[in-house]
C-alpha cells in the first residue's frame, strides 16, 4: 500500500481504550447465576424414541436447552454418490426459529454440522453398513439461555452471526445424537459424550449457559468415548495457560464419564423387558 | 485425493517412524517458508506464503461499519477462506466449499479468541472509532492458490503477515454528533496506522501418522493421517485455540503431549516467521523509496 510506510509505525488505536469495570457475573462466592456450583453440570434428562417415524431418536433436556435428534437409515445412498465400501454419515443441525431470545430466520449452521459429523464418525462402525447412508438430523428446540441473567440480549444485528455462539448447545446435540444412533441400532464402539467448559476470570465453569459463555475468556469443548477414554473432538478458543487447560480437560473428561452413565441408564430403561 | 500404492504408503509410514521423511526432513521440521507482503494493491494489507508447493494469499480489507449493539465497544473481524479449483480439481463445487468452511471455522477458533477478547489476534476494542456508532470491520480473506498439505498453518502465517502489512487510515471525528445521529468522520488518505501484531498467534498442526506425529505434512503424508490437532500459540506461550481434524479418537495424554510439543515448535516458527515478515516488509519499503 503506497504511502503507508511512516517512519515510526504507531500502534493503531483511534480511541483511547477505556478500562471499564466488568460487572462480575458471579454475585456470591462460587455460586453461579442459576444456583449451581462451578463444577456442577445442569441436570440432564434423556429419553429415546421421541419420534415414531425415525429408525431411532432421542430427546435431551439440560436445564433450558432442549434438543431433539432423529436418525434415519441406514438407507441406500443417493444415486449420484460413488460406490463406497463403508457407510456414510450425513448430519444436519438446525435451530427452531424460537430457539433464541431473538427471533431469527432459520440460519445456516454449517459449522455445527461439521463438528457433529466429526464428533460422531469416530465412534460409528461405518464398515457395518456399506453402500448406505445414515442420516442424523438434530433440531435445537430451545437454546441454553436463561432470562434471569444479568446480561440479557435485546437485539442482535444481522451481521454478527459469525460469532461462534452457544457451544453448550452443541455438546448437548452431540450427546443426544449418539443416544439416537444407539436407539436406531447403529453399531458403535461406544456412546459419545460431550461437555463444554468456560474459563471466566481464572475460574473454570463447567457446562456454561448463554450468559456465562458470552463473557468467557476461553472456551473448551471435549467430545469423548468414555469407556475407551478417547477424545474424538476437541475445540478450544480464547487464551489458556497449559496447567489451566490440563485442569479443564480433566474436569470435562470426568463430566463426560458421569454423563455417559446417565445416557447408559436411559438406554437400559428403554430396553424392552426392563420393566419386569 | 492422493492416489498412493501400498508400497508408497508403507514407505511414508516407515519413514515417519524412523524420523526421516520422504523429503529428508525430521518429524518436527518445517519446510522453508517464503513470505511476500503487499502483493495485492487494492487491499489494506496482504501477504503470500509459500511452503513447498503450498501457496496461499491472505488479504485484509478495512471498511467503516457499525458496531453490533451487543458489543458497542468492539469492532468486527470476519475471516473467510476460499479454495480455488485452480489449486486442485477436488476443490470444485461442494468439495471446495466444505474445505473452505472447515478452514474458516478453524481459523476463527484459533485467531479470534474468547468472547471476552482474551487471546484474540487483534484487540477488537482498538477497532472502534466512536463507541456504538463507528468501527472498523476487518475482512480477512484467504485464498488457496496451490495446495500441498498443511493449509491451516500456511493460512495462519499468511494472515499474520498480512496483518503486519496492514495500514488503517487515520480517522478524525469532525463533528461530534448528538445521541442519535451518525458522527461525521474524515478518513485520511495519507496517514496510515499499523496494527500491533505481537499478539497474533501462530498455528501449529500436528498430524498423527501411525504412532508418531509430524508438523507441516505434505498432502501425501496427510492422506495417511489418523487425526490432526491444530494448536495456536502466542508469544507468551499461551494456547489461543485448538481444533481437531479426523474422526479417530485420541488418548487425552497424547493430546497433552501434543500441546507441549506444539508450544516448543511454535517458538521457533514465530521467530522464523517474524524475521521473514520483517525482511519482506523491508523489501517493500525499498521498492517504494
- CATH number of domain containing A198: 3.30.230.70
| Facing B45 at nearest CB: one of A1, A11, A157 | A1
Does residue A94 lie in a domain region? yes
Number of structural domains in chain B = 1
A73 vs chain B: nearest CA distance in angstroms? 21
Q: What is the pLDDT of residue B154?
A: 92
Does residue A184 lie in a domain region? yes
* Chain A residue with Cα closest to B110: A237
Q: Hey, is B80 helix, strand or coil? A: strand
**Cis check: omega of the bond before B147, within 30 degrees of 0:** no
Among B239, B277, B280, the strongest candidate for a mutation testing the A interface, having the largest count of A CBs within 10 A, is B239
Quickly list H helices, B29-172. Answer: 94-111, 151-165
Query: Does the pLDDT at position B9 exceed 70?
Result: yes
* Chain A residue with Cα closest to B227: A232
Query: Does the pLDDT at position B125 exceed 50?
Result: yes
d(CA B213, CA B231): 13
Q: What is the pLDDT of residue A101?
A: 62
The cell numbers describing A177, all together, are 445424537
Contact, A151 vs B65, CB < 8 A?
no
Does residue B43 lie in a domain region? yes
Quickly list H helices, chain B. Answer: 6-17, 94-111, 151-165, 219-222, 252-288
Element at A37 (helix H, strand E): none
Number of structural domains in chain A = 1
In this prediction, residues B111-132 reach a mean pLDDT of: 76
d(CA B223, CA B8): 11
Could you report the per-residue pLDDT of B41-77, keeping only the tens digit for each? 888 889 999 998 899 999 999 888 888 777 777 888 8
B109 vs chain A: nearest CA distance in angstroms? 5
Q: What is the pLDDT of residue B49?
A: 92
Does residue B59 lie in a domain region? yes
Does residue A31 lie in a domain region? no
In this prediction, what percent of chain B has a pLDDT beyond 90?
Answer: 12
Could you report the per-residue pLDDT of B149-191, keeping only the tens digit for each? 889 999 999 999 998 888 888 877 776 655 556 667 777 777 7
Does residue B135 lie in a domain region? yes
In this prediction, residues B277-285 reach a mean pLDDT of: 83
* Chain B residue with Cα closest to A252: B252
Does residue A32 lie in a domain region? no
A120 vs chain B: nearest CA distance in angstroms? 7
Residue A92 pLDDT level (bands cut at 50, 70, 90): confident
- Residue B20's domain comprises 6-288
Q: Are strands A56-62 and A65-76 parallel, antiparallel or unpaired?
A: antiparallel
CA distances from B127 to B82, B130, B172, B194 (A): 25, 9, 14, 12
Could you tell me the CATH number of the domain that includes residue B142? 3.30.230.70
- pTM of the entire structure? 0.82
* Chain A residue with Cα closest to B137: A159
Contact, A48 vs A183, CB < 8 A?
yes
Does residue B1 lie in a domain region? no
Could you report the per-residue pLDDT of B205-256, keeping only the tens digit for each? 999 888 888 988 888 888 888 889 999 998 888 888 898 887 788 888 888 8
| Facing B129 at nearest CB: one of A15, A118, A213 | A15
**CB–CB of B116 and A215 under 8 A?**
yes
Half-sphere exposure of A257 (CA within 13 A, CB side): 9
B114 contacts on A by Cβ (under 8 Å): 199, 216-219, 237-239
Query: Does the pLDDT at position A275 exceed 70?
Result: no
Contact, A87 vs B247, CB < 8 A?
no
A274 vs chain B: nearest CA distance in angstroms? 32
d(CA B166, CA B194): 6
Residue A18 pLDDT level (bands cut at 50, 70, 90): very low
Does residue A198 lie in a domain region? yes
Does residue A244 lie in a domain region? yes
Query: Does the pLDDT at position B273 exceed 80?
Result: yes
Nearest 5°: phi and psi at A113?
-60, -45
Query: Does the pLDDT at position A109 exceed 60?
Result: yes
Q: What is the pLDDT of residue B247?
A: 75
Q: What is the pLDDT of residue B165?
A: 86
Does residue B71 lie in a domain region? yes
Could you report the per-residue pLDDT of A135-159, keeping only the tens digit for each? 999 888 887 753 333 333 332 333 3
| Facing A238 at nearest CB: one of B113, B196, B250 | B113
* Chain B residue with Cα closest to A214: B115
Please spell the DSSP secondary structure of A186-218, one letter per residue.
--BSS--EEEEEEEETTEEEES--HHHHHT-SE
In this prediction, what percent of chain B has a pLDDT beyond 70?
Answer: 93
Query: Does the pLDDT at position A6 exceed 50?
Result: no
Does residue A29 lie in a domain region? no
- Residue A161's domain comprises 44-77+85-270
Amino acid at each position: 500500500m503506497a504511502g503507508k510506510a511512516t517512519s515510526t509505525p504507531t500502534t493503531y488505536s483511534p480511541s483511547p481504550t477505556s478500562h471499564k469495570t466488568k460487572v462480575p457475573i458471579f454475585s456470591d462466592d462460587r455460586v453461579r447465576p442459576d444456583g449451581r456450583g462451578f463444577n456442577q453440570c445442569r441436570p440432564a434428562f434423556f429419553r429415546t424414541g421421541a419420534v415414531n417415524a425415525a429408525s431411532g431418536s432421542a430427546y435431551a433436556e439440560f436445564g433450558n436447552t432442549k434438543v431433539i435428534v432423529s436418525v434415519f437409515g441406514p438407507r441406500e445412498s443417493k444415486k449420484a454418490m460413488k460406490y463406497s465400501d463403508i457407510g456414510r454419515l450425513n448430519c444436519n443441525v438446525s435451530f427452531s426459529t424460537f430457539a433464541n431470545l431473538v427471533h431469527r430466520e432459520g440460519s445456516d449452521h454449517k459449522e455445527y454440522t461439521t463438528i457433529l459429523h466429526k464428533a460422531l464418525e469416530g465412534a460409528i462402525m461405518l464398515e457395518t453398513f456399506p453402500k448406505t447412508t445414515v442420516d442424523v438430523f438434530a433440531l435445537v428446540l430451545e437454546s441454553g439461555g436463561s432470562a434471569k441473567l444479568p446480561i440479557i440480549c435485546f437485539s442482535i444485528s444481522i451481521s454478527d452471526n459469525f460469532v461462534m455462539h452457544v457451544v453448550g448447545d452443541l455438546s448437548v446435540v452431540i450427546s443426544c445424537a449418539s443416544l439416537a444412533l444407539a436407539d436406531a441400532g447403529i453399531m458403535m464402539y461406544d456412546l459419545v459424550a460431550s461437555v463444554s467448559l468456560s474459563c471466566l476470570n481464572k475460574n473454570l465453569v463447567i457446562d456454561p449457559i448463554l450468559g456465562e459463555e458470552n463473557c468467557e475468556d476461553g472456551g473448551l469443548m471435549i467430545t469423548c468415548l468414555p469407556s475407551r477414554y478417547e477424545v474424538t473432538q476437541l475445540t478450544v478458543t480464547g487464551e489458556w495457560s497449559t496447567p489451566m487447560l490440563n485442569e479443564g480437560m480433566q474436569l470435562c473428561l470426568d463430566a463426560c464419564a458421569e454423563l455417559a452413565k446417565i445416557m447408559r441408564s436411559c438406554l437400559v430403561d428403554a430396553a424392552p423387558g426392563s420393566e419386569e | 485425493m492422493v492416489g498412493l500404492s501400498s508400497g508408497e504408503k508403507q514407505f511414508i509410514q516407515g519413514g515417519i517412524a524412523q524420523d526421516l521423511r520422504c523429503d529428508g526432513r525430521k518429524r518436527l521440521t518445517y519446510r522453508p517458508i517464503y513470505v511476500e507482503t503487499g502483493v495485492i494493491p487494492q487491499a489494506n494489507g496482504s501477504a503470500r506464503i509459500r511452503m513447498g508447493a503450498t501457496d496461499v494469499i491472505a488479504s485484509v480489507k478495512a471498511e467503516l461499519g457499525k458496531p453490533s449493539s451487543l458489543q458497542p465497544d468492539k469492532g468486527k473481524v470476519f475471516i473467510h477462506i476460499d479454495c480455488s479449483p485452480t489449486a486442485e480439481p477436488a476443490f470444485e463445487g461442494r468439495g471446495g466449499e466444505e474445505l473452505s468452511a472447515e478452514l474458516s471455522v478453524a481459523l476463527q477458533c484459533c485467531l479470534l479468541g474468547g468472547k471476552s477478547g482474551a487471546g484474540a489476534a487483534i484487540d477488537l476494542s482498538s477497532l472502534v472509532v466512536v463507541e456504538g456508532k463507528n468501527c472498523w470491520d476487518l475482512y480477512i480473506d484467504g485464498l488457496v492458490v496451490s495446495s500441498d498439505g498443511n493449509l491451516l498453518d500456511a493460512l495462519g502465517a499468511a494472515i499474520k503477515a498480512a496483518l503486519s502489512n496492514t495500514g488503517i487510515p487515520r480517522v478524525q471525528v469532525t463533528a461530534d454528533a448528538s445521541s442519535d445521529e451518525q458522527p461525521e468522520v474524515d478518513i485520511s488518505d495519507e496517514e496510515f496506522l499499523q496494527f500491533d501484531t505481537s499478539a497474533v498467534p501462530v498455528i501449529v498442526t500436528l498430524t498423527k501418522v501411525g504412532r508418531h506425529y509430524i508438523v507441516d505434512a505434505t498432502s501425501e503424508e496427510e492422506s495417511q493421517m489418523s487425526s490432526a490437532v491444530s494448536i495456536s500459540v502466542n508469544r507468551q506461550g499461551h494456547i489461543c485455540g485448538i481444533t481437531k481434524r479426523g474422526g479417530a479418537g485420541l488418548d487425552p495424554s497424547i493430546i497433552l503431549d501434543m500441546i507441549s510439543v506444539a508450544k516448543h515448535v511454535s517458538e521457533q516458527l514465530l521467530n522464523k516467521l517474524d524475521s521473514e515478515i520483517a525482511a519482506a516488509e523491508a523489501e517493500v519499503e525499498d521498492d517504494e523509496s
